[in-house]
Amino acid sequence: MTKAARTFALPIQVYYEDTDAGGIVYHANFLKFAERARTSWLHAIGWPPRRVQEDLHIQFVVKHIEIDYRNPGFLDDKITATCTLENIGNSSITFEQLIERDKTVLAALKVVCVTINAKGRPIRVPPQLRQIFGA
């Protein structure tokens, strides 16, 4: 089992569905972009959400988000959602995330996820994931 790089980047295309009548990317959709990057990272390390749930009997849920909107995104934009591991606590993982178009930061996020068991209770981040994420 190898350690994952501590940063993951996902290219994303902005479609009509992502924009609003203000002519820009609808603000809530940046959270979707960020989630796609986190989930794609899980895919990349061999632990897609369904396998996490079936084999480890846990689920990641979002506990806290801080997001700064710095520049608008537009239809047809080719953007990148990056995800950097900031910290692994007992039952939480903190990510720093950026949504960028070339070198322009559209949004910067801090996202805290918690691992919960089937009953919805916080549970220790399992060693399988802990090891891969490099903590």
Interface with a second copy by CB under 8 A: which residues?
Answer: 13, 15-17, 19-24, 26-29, 31-32, 35-36, 39-40, 43, 48-51, 59, 61-69, 72, 74-76, 120
Question: Minimum distance from CB of 72 to a second copy (Å)?
Answer: 7
Q: Is the dihedral of CA 36, 37, 38, 42 positive or negative?
A: positive
Q: Is 20 a catalytic residue?
A: yes
Give the helix/strand (H/E) hosting 9: strand 7-13
One-letter amino acid for residue 50 of the chain: R
Closer residue to a second copy, CB minimum distance, 39 or 80: 39
Q: Residue 102 gets which letter from DSSP?
A: T
Residue pointed to by tokens 């988000």: 65
The gap from C-alpha 94 to its chain's centroid, in whole angstroms, comes to 10
Could you tell me the smallest distance in angstroms from the CB atom of residue 115 to a second copy?
A: 13
| Beta carbon of residue 28, minimum distance to a second copy (angstroms, whole number) | 4
The residues carrying an active-site annotation are 20
